[in-house]
Amino acid sequence: MREDCLSRLNWGRGLFLILLVVSLLSLTVSPTTGAAPARDFFKVGVVTSLSGELAFGGNVTKRGYDMWADTVNQLGGIEIAGKRYRVQLIYADDQSTPATAAVAGERLITQEQVDFILGPYASGTTLALAPITEKYKVPHITGSAESPLIWQRKFKYTFGTIPPVSINAQAPIQTLAQDVSPKPQTIAILGIDDPFSKFAAEAFRTAAQKFGIKVVRYEIVPEGSDYTPAVSAAKAQNPDIFAIGSHEKAAIEMIKAAKELKFNPKAFVQHYGMTTPDFRKGLGKDAEYVFGASVWTANLNYKATILFTTPKEYAEKFKAKFGTEPDYTEAASTAAGIAFQEALRQIKATPPLDQAEKDALVAALEKLNIMTFYGPVKFATSGDYYHSNAGLQPIALQYQGGKLVEVGPGKLALAKPRYPTPPWDRR
């Protein structure tokens, strides 16, 4: 049978196949150094997760980036030396996998010849994209990734508008340690095995140790596994706090599992995920009392001049456009665009950017110190958090009456934290 199969593949077809392979190969090694054709708009590459496990988060960043680009274009574009240049976002789907993120970035740079790149939703994909932008020397800002691993690698061309998770995730633990009584004594931590979630879990642990809360269980589990056994094991320790390091989906599933197992700690803590509308919709009243962390809310009173004047104005325009309240990742993604816009204005670079202008753009980003609706954007230029935004302060949040309110730490509170959490049937 097999010989029959081979003999059927005649020479003509073989030749065709060889030609096909050769032409495909030549496509992938297209020239990269050639100058981009003249144009009067900025080509902005966006690599993020539009399908796969992280599609929800990817679309969160997309809304943030779209908000920036659409607002800029409504004003006629970025004003540089008296002339306005529009921006065009070119999306590439990383399918929620790091390897695809690298390929997508390479394609945007070599084939689309984008001027700069707005980065992915997740830290894992960002860690795969950063070496590519480094290789081709293309400036890249992520409006979402939070893993400290990115900044420890000290990529020259990669920046981020959200401070690392190792700082942010400490806020709710600090609030619980200092602003409620009686002070919680023990904590069980459950994290997912990815670069963001693992560090969220680690930040919970560091903060707990710093504030004298005993860590009774610390467990990292793979994404997509059944979380019931891990939650059972945490429950067996009877901790005061149950902290979850994960993205939105795993957080929903773990809290569902906790309810089913009648696991009733005095506080639930999460970091990213609890700020999204899907978390609240998915859990309904079970989202109530959950603590979380953010670096931005619409209630902050920043005064800015670029695109949006206040967090409130941004939130209103965002809601009018997308029908949901923005969370901090959406705001940070918009701020990533603003950072590029301001740096471009400072160096007076016009599209398309050549390599010297791209390097100048990186230098300008390093010096950038601006006030936006999202708060100060100022990238660190040394230390462990190299090129991540050093200007922001993390805030502890809690669901109270179906709304997210700021509960700490300390003076940042707009409402008192509700503690302890009542049993499941009395929420």
Partner 1 sequence: MELFLQTLVDGLLIGGLIIVIGVGFSLCFGVMHIIDFAVGEWVMLGAYTAFWMVRYLGRDPFLYLPVIFFLYLAIGYLIYPLIHRAVSGRRHNPALMGLVFTFGLASLIKGGALTAWGFHVRSVTTWLSGESLALGVAVVPALRFAGFAFGVLATVAFMLFLKWSKIGVAIRAMAQDRVMAELLGVDTNRVSALVYAMYTGLTGMAGVLIGALFSIHAGMGLKYTTFAFFVVVLAGMGYVPGVIPAAFLLGLLQSFVTVYVSGRYTLLAVFFVLYLTLLVRPRGLLGRGW
Q: Which residues bind partner 1 (CB under 8 A)?
A: 1-2, 4-5, 50-53, 55-56, 58-59, 96, 190, 193, 219-222, 224-226, 228-230, 232-233, 235-236, 248-249, 252-253, 256-257, 259-262, 278, 281-284, 286, 424
Give the shortest CB-190-to-partner 1 separation in angstroms: 8
Q: How many CA atoms lie within 13 A of 106 on its CB side?
A: 15
Minimum CB distance to partner 1 smaller for 34 or for 423:
423
Minimum CB distance to partner 1 smaller for 219 or for 325:
219
Is residue 153 within 8 A of residue 136, CB to CB? The reply is no
Minimum CB distance to partner 1 smaller for 5 or for 356:
5
Minimum CB distance to partner 1 smaller for 54 or for 128:
54
- Using CA atoms, how far apart are residues 17 and 409, in angstroms rounded to an integer? 64
User: One-letter amino acid identity for 109?
Assistant: I
From the centroid of its chain, how far is CA 382?
22
Give the shortest CB-260-to-partner 1 separation in angstroms: 3
Minimum CB distance to partner 1 smaller for 257 or for 407:
257
- CB neighbour burial string for 22-42, b if at least 16 within 10 angstroms, e if fewer: eeeeeeeeeeeeeeeeeeebb
Give the shortest CB-381-to-partner 1 separation in angstroms: 36
Minimum CB distance to partner 1 smaller for 190 or for 332:
190
User: One-letter amino acid identity for 397?
Assistant: L
φ/ψ bin of 191: left (φ > 0), alpha (ψ from -120 to 50), beta (otherwise): beta
Sign of dihedral through CA atoms 328, 334, 340, 341? negative
- Using CA atoms, how far apart are residues 20 and 160, in angstroms rounded to an integer? 41
Minimum CB distance to partner 1 smaller for 254 or for 405:
254
Minimum CB distance to partner 1 smaller for 66 or for 248:
248
Minimum CB distance to partner 1 smaller for 2 or for 303:
2
**Helix, coil or strand: residue 44:** strand
- Using CA atoms, how far apart are residues 23 and 249, in angstroms rounded to an integer? 42
Give the shortest CB-329-to-partner 1 separation in angstroms: 14
Give the shortest CB-53-to-partner 1 separation in angstroms: 5
Closest listed residue to residue 269, CA positions, set 236, 245, 237: 245
User: One-letter amino acid identity for 156?
Assistant: K
- Using CA atoms, how far apart are residues 83 and 80, in angstroms rounded to an integer? 5
- Using CA atoms, how far apart are residues 53 and 58, in angstroms rounded to an integer? 10
- Tokens 């599609």 locate to 55
Give the shortest CB-59-to-partner 1 separation in angstroms: 4
Is residue 143 within 8 A of residue 65, CB to CB? The reply is yes
Give the shortest CB-412-to-partner 1 separation in angstroms: 29
Give the shortest CB-193-to-partner 1 separation in angstroms: 6
Give the shortest CB-55-to-partner 1 separation in angstroms: 4
- Two tokens, residue 354: 């050549």
